Structure 1
Amino acid sequence: MIVAGVSAKLIPTGEAAKAIGVDRGTLVRWHRDGLVTPALVTPGGHARWDLDDLLKQLREMRK
């Protein structure tokens, strides 16, 4: 998938949350609070995540 220069497999919030071991609501809250940023937000407002990028953002949060 290629969207606005993003080329990766983008996954929905529930899958991303499961992959990093947190509840979906936690990831939604982190996004809402500006702690993490999805690779894409659909016109309908649904976040799509690049798992590698999300993991990188989480590593940066720990510093």
Structure 2
Amino acid sequence: MPGDLVPTADAAKAIGVDRRTLQRWVSQGRIEPTLTTAGGHHRWDIDDLKRQLREMNRR
């Protein structure tokens, strides 16, 4: 498991979208967070998120 996981707001900022957009993509099943905490908060590996976005754009 990667050690540098960031919360949704930071992940969204890193890819240039609003955090609500990232949350919507998760709820639509378009992308998956690296980790979901017991409290339901998502944590992201930025490199993995960017990979998922590349794959999403290919579809």
Q: TM-score, normalised by structure 2?
A: 0.94
Equivalents in 1 of 2:38, 2:22: separation in Å?
A: 19
**Structure 1 outlier segments of 4+, above 6 Å:** none
Q: Between Structure 1 and Structure 2, which shows a larger proportion of strand residues?
A: 1
Q: Between Structure 1 and Structure 2, which shows a larger proportion of helix residues?
A: 2
RMSD: 0.6
- Structure number with greater CO (CA < 8 Å, separation at least 6) is 2
In the alignment, structure 1 segments of 5+ residues that lack a partner are 1-5
Equivalents in 2 of 1:40, 1:17: separation in Å?
A: 15
The sequence identity of aligned pairs, in percent, is 59
In the alignment, structure 2 segments of 5+ residues that lack a partner are none
- The alignment of Structure 1 onto Structure 2 pairs a total of residues equal to 58
Q: TM-score, normalised by structure 1?
A: 0.89
